[in-house]
Amino acid sequence: MSFFSYGYHVRANGVRLHLLRYGGQGPRLLLLPGITSPAITWGFVAERLARHFDVHVLDFRGRGLSFSAPGMVASLDAMAADVLDLLEILGWSSVTLLGHSMGARVAIRATTLNPERIAKLLLVDPPMSGPGRRAYPVPLTWYVDSIRLAAQGITAEELRPFAPTWTEEQLRLRAEWLHTCSEDAIIQAHVGFHEDDIHTDLLKLRTPGLLMAAGKGGVMLPDDLTEIKTLAPSLMQCTAASAGHMIPWDDEEDFFRLLGEYLKFDLLS
């Protein structure tokens, strides 16, 4: 049985934002995907969470079915403003934000700007790069090359070199939707990984939540976790030891086990 309900659009912060809704029961959870992950690619996570939450998955501007245009602004601040205006327009408060990678950075920035609307954070392997810090480990060419291939039409097998550990089903879905990711938006996000100071945001953070690191991703290192314990003590920490950066794809069972332990829900059965 699927918990998918419908897709819908909201005009927020001056742009059209597309979301997918799963479930409809329980507290609201807004899922914020990563740099090249349209909302539909997080459907398998939303389906599981919809047993306990009213789940809404966002297509960030420049991705999926949301607004996209040459020369658009797709910075961290713009995406955080999108999220906050979306919450304002929909009249949502006490929302749980689940963000992966870039989406986790957006969740952090949005929460520091307006903590009253956000009750809980679930942060999955946010990049800890920034001014004066080590570079984000995935080069921009990895994203741009795959997007350009997808724009021409790419098969799951042709996409496999970019994600060799993924299943055939995962690769097929990515091959179908990757072309919707704007190259401009992805470049701005990747530059932002190096120019936006997320550590200053973490220092301001008081909202409770979970920080999940990938044991094999190279995006968050043990030193980062130690630093974040001091910067943001409101965040509990856990590590998916055998997973790379795309934790739910690399080790789905451990992802849901760790998330369920924090939320006190059984997400495995």
The per-residue pLDDT for 269 is 85
pLDDT tens, position by position, 88-98 = 999 999 999 99
The per-residue pLDDT for 217 is 87
| Helix, strand, coil percentages for the chain (3-state, nearest 5) | 45, 20, 35
Which domains are present in the chain? 4-133+196-263 (3.40.50.1820)
Residues in the chain predicted with pLDDT less than 50, given as ranges, are none
The per-residue pLDDT for 24 is 85
pLDDT tens, position by position, 99-140 = 999 999 999 999 999 999 999 999 999 999 999 999 999 999
Ranges of beta strands (E only) in 194-262 are 209-214, 235-240
Spatial separation of the C-alpha atoms in residues 99 and 76, rounded to whole Å: 13
Q: How far is CA 56 from CA 15, 66, 136, 213, 261, in A?
A: 18, 14, 28, 23, 22
pTM of the model: 0.98
Spatial separation of the C-alpha atoms in residues 201 and 17, rounded to whole Å: 25
Spatial separation of the C-alpha atoms in residues 82 and 13, rounded to whole Å: 5
The per-residue pLDDT for 236 is 98
The per-residue pLDDT for 1 is 84
Token code pair at residue 25: 């029961």
Residue pair 54/28 in contact by the 8 Å Cβ criterion: yes
Q: Which amino acid is at 27?
A: P
The per-residue pLDDT for 93 is 92
Q: HEC states along 85-142?
A: HHHHHHCCCCEEEEEECHHHHHHHHHHHHCHHHEEEEEEECCCCCCCCCCCCCCCHHH
Spatial separation of the C-alpha atoms in residues 239 and 213, rounded to whole Å: 5
The per-residue pLDDT for 117 is 95
Closest CA to 190 of 255, 239, 146: 146
- Parallel/antiparallel/unpaired status of strands 15-23 and 54-59: antiparallel
